[in-house]
Amino acid sequence: MAKLYFSYAAMNAGKSTILLQASYNYRERGMATLLFTAALDDRAGTGVIASRIGLHDNARLFDASHDLFAQIEAAHTAGPLSCVFVDEAQFLTPEQVWQLARVADRLGIPVMCYGLRTDFQGKLFPGSAELLAIADTLREIRTICECGAKATMVVRLNADGTPILEGEQVDIGGNDKYISLCRRHWEERVGRNPG
């Protein structure tokens, strides 16, 4: 039976690298995959999933207006798909997460989602919250804090390196804007308890 998977981590854990490697493994065995990435993240170029170590592949874009079930069903009808991969899954809407669940349940295609669990304020992204609630399999991908402990939180930084404590949940960026920290160092860096 096909499943909906959610692999989550803080930034710089290698989520995109793992996604690209898994898709490559399917394709190397002659199986077709379909890749999606968030339309609002064009750091690697429009419609490209790229890792910091240089791997990249083309992907379809999604935004809140897209019906992913319909797109995947049409692609599967045109030629059988063995797996669907979604990068930046935190930007999915809750309804799109259910659409992906229906892909696994009704079309029998495994769906592997990769994304952040929480934002810079320690709050769940809507897509991540829904995935944590309904995914069949959850997997934490680990990265490390500057102290060597497991990093689970992200701090957004100003240009001068000071933490940003408020603002829009989404602000696309990489190492220039964000650092991954353990909970203790995140709380020390932001200087307050977010609750």
4-142 falls under which CATH superfamily? P-loop containing nucleotide triphosphate hydrolases (3.40.50.300)
- Helix-strand-coil split of the chain, %, nearest 5: 30, 25, 45
What is the pTM (predicted TM-score) of this model? 0.84
Interval 81-137: pLDDT, tens: 999 999 999 999 999 999 999 999 999 999 999 998 888 788 899 999 999 999 999
Interval 16-31: pLDDT, tens: 889 999 999 999 999 9
Interval 66-78: pLDDT, tens: 999 999 999 999 9
Q: Is 88 a catalytic residue?
A: yes
Q: Which of 28, 88, 130, 166 is catalytic?
A: 88
**What SS3 class is residue 36?**
strand
Structure tokens belonging to residue 87? 């990068």
From CA 170, how far away is CA 120, in angstroms rounded? 9
Q: Domain boundaries in the chain?
A: 4-142
Structure tokens belonging to residue 111? 């769906």
Q: What is the pLDDT of residue 159?
A: 74
